[in-house]
Chain A
Amino acid sequence: MDNLANKYLRAQKIPSTACSGCGLGQVHKKVVMAIDELNLGIEDVVWGTGIGCAGRQTFNTWKGDNFAGTHGRVYALAAGLRVALAPEKKIILTVGDGDAFGIGLLHLLHCARRNVDMTVIVADNFGYQSTGGQFGYTTPIGYKTDSSPYGMNEANWTQNGIDILKILKDAGATFLARHTSFEGQSAVESIKKGIENKGFSLIHALYPCVTNFGGRALGSRKPEDSYKWFKEITLKKDEEVKEGKIGFHTGVYYDGSDTRVEFATNIREFTDRIEGGAKHD
């Protein structure tokens, strides 16, 4: 364990049981780096997780308080927790693409609408990898998985003009960013901004699954082949997505930090007004 892990993470959980070559650890590390660079302590963060590789691998790694929800429900759980927790406590969720963009999307959108103060790190490995590699909502169209043996043949949230981050922005999210696990300080800076935003923040963090997505969809379990593929799909600033291909511009997608009233702040102020009025009566 490095110094950062010693400072913030539980020795029993590090290293994780992730496959060799998995990029999840890099995403996890960037979240911890962001926390450290914001000078937050163990007592400042309550860490939640969902189901799947991202959820199970990061659950109870945090030295402080931890919780994990069932598949897709941790957003509703966190929204309830938000009204009970002290406002200065940070809620950070590390979840997967199936959890956030599939089964839990309804709750995620409502958290964006309510602008619930939480930072959701969607660690995206392009499908359901912990169950062996089925397609999800970010699996590129045409890619083969165990449940799309002829190629993924439905629309996803990240291709052909559809972008889940745009949907979340329209729903009311106040900080959105997208990065890959191969990016360094720029990703850490985005996570920091997300944590600092008093409202709903989401960082879409793409990372390689060499075992299932690599093995089946990319045809190689070599980490360097996943790296090459990530280089191809990470677009330069002025580079356009090629017709029928998948590609991502990384960095801050939308920064509306502190432009909308936060959910728990709003409900507290509302209650204070009514309670004050009731006492006055």
Chain B
Amino acid sequence: MKRIFDTGNAAITEAAIIAGCEVYAGYPITPSTEIAENMSRRLPQVGGYYIQAEDELAGLYMCLGASLGGKKVMTSTSGPGYVLFSDPYGWGISCEIPVVIIDAQRVGPVSGITGAPGQGEFYLSRYPTHGGNFETIVLAPASVQEAFQLTIEAFYLAERFRTPVTILADQLVTDGWESFCIPETQEERNEMGIKVMDRKVNYGPVFYPATDEIDIPPVVLGHNTGAACSDWTPTEDGYDTEDSAAHMKHSYRLVYKIRNHRDIIDRHEEHFIGDDPDLILVAYGSPARVVISAVKKARELGLKVGCIRLISIWPFQDKLFSRKTKYLSVELNFEGQLVREVQRATSNGSEVHFFGKCGELPSVNELIGVIKNILNDEPIVTQQWKSEAW
């Protein structure tokens, strides 16, 4: 193993290289710019191509075009660029094109604060485009090492499911410096559980089957397969159609190829859950690290609390919230996004609370205070924020 001290952006870059990324196209934006910079240095060294696009729309479309030509691809951005992905995201989802998309969440809305962490794209990563009739795969790293591993996973899942896979990171993960390990031998890769899938070519004549099966090769142009892929609703052989029965089949595939293979997508981590805690904290990404520390401290204080850290975000893991108890969603936004899903997923009678900050992490002490408030049935009151509606 090679031990490196660097940023999440650097880890994501090295992960992409190991996963076999051949083309990166993107547009510089804080706090993911270093991925573009690192890719411009690393890709040509391994025979790949770096393209600096004229905007994020073009960046993701160039990736999709290169993937359509048979290359494994990645792009990266942050909030203001992530919204511009909306159009190509939909194209990639409907045409079933493998692509890895990194979103380093910062403070919004709009340009907001560039160099501080936020978690405002929780729902946007589930609904990155219009029109509905699809499911998404979204993974959220909480550390530099995890950013490395999930990026490799994202490439693997993108090929198997032939769909865009999103890494929903945040500024602390992408800009943050930590030591992380890179495998140097096949043995070390196996040890780390790294799986790499090469691109296969779909030779037709069925390009868009009405099934939930995975591991069907994607459409690759240039092999004279007679493939057709477009923004229109496709028939199984790729013709554009206005037929709603055909659209139902297409939608079934886009939704259920993901929903029916949760076993290879779902990921989470639990701490102190075994003894039916009075309060379960829920978080993903950077804030989850403070949450874990706060739960450990609370246990030392004799408080019966536990936590769930979500690693895969979408599809949402409803089954994790089947216990009837109190929940507290800790997020890097002020209005509460993850909390809505937790509230939806919990069994009847569970209380769901929210504590949010943005641009900075909560402290352990702050969270201990909130935990005590909830356990004592007191309102959560934070400085300069009068009351918590949740």
Report yes or no: A83 in contact with B69, Cβ–Cβ below 8 A.
yes
| One of B47, B66, B229, B238 near A80 (C-beta < 8 A) | B66
**Is A1's CB within 8 Å of the partner chain B?**
no
| One of B63, B64, B238 near A66 (C-beta < 8 A) | B238
Q: Give chain A nearest CB distance to B242 CB in angstroms.
A: 11
**Is A170's CB within 8 Å of the partner chain B?**
no
**Inside 8 A of B25's CB, which chain A residues have their CB?**
80
Report yes or no: B69 in contact with A77, Cβ–Cβ below 8 A.
no
Report yes or no: A267 in contact with B221, Cβ–Cβ below 8 A.
no
**Is B198's CB within 8 Å of the partner chain A?**
no
| One of B23, B222, B231 near A68 (C-beta < 8 A) | B231
Specify which of A56, A82, A274 lies most central, judged by the most chain B CB atoms within 10 Å of its CB: A274
Specify which of B225, B230, B239 lies most central, judged by the most chain A CB atoms within 10 Å of its CB: B230
**Is B223's CB within 8 Å of the partner chain A?**
yes
Q: Give chain A nearest CB distance to B155 CB in angstroms.
A: 16
Report yes or no: A80 in contact with B23, Cβ–Cβ below 8 A.
yes
Q: How many A-B residue pairs have CB under 8 A?
A: 147
Report yes or no: A106 in contact with B55, Cβ–Cβ below 8 A.
yes
Q: Give chain B nearest CB distance to A16 CB in angstroms.
A: 12
| One of A12, A60, A63, A70 near B91 (C-beta < 8 A) | A70
Given A84-B66, A274-B45: A42 and B224 interface contact (C-beta under 8 Å): yes
| One of B44, B55, B63, B238 near A60 (C-beta < 8 A) | B238
Report yes or no: B222 in contact with A76, Cβ–Cβ below 8 A.
no
Q: Give chain B nearest CB distance to A67 CB in angstroms.
A: 5
How many angstroms between the C-alpha atoms of A85 and B223 in the bound complex?
9
Chain A residue nearest to B45 (CB atoms) is: A278
**Is A271's CB within 8 Å of the partner chain B?**
yes
Given A60-B239, A80-B68, A271-B44: A68 and B232 interface contact (C-beta under 8 Å): yes
Interface size on A, residues (CB 8 A): 42
Chain B residue nearest to A114 (CB atoms) is: B51
Report yes or no: A271 in contact with B240, Cβ–Cβ below 8 A.
no
Given A76-B61, A80-B68: A85 and B55 interface contact (C-beta under 8 Å): no
How many angstroms between the C-alpha atoms of A28 and B52 in the bound complex?
33
How many angstroms between the C-alpha atoms of A46 and B222 in the bound complex?
7
Given A42-B224, A83-B49: A76 and B44 interface contact (C-beta under 8 Å): no
Report yes or no: B227 in contact with A76, Cβ–Cβ below 8 A.
no
Can you identify 17 A-B contacts, CB atoms within 8 angstroms? A12-B239, A13-B239, A59-B232, A64-B224, A65-B226, A68-B230, A70-B91, A73-B57, A76-B58, A78-B65, A79-B51, A81-B69, A106-B54, A106-B55, A267-B49, A274-B44, A278-B45
Residues of chain B whose beta carbon lies under 8 Å from any beta carbon of chain A: 23, 25, 43-49, 51, 53-55, 57-58, 61-71, 73, 87-88, 90-91, 221-232, 238-240
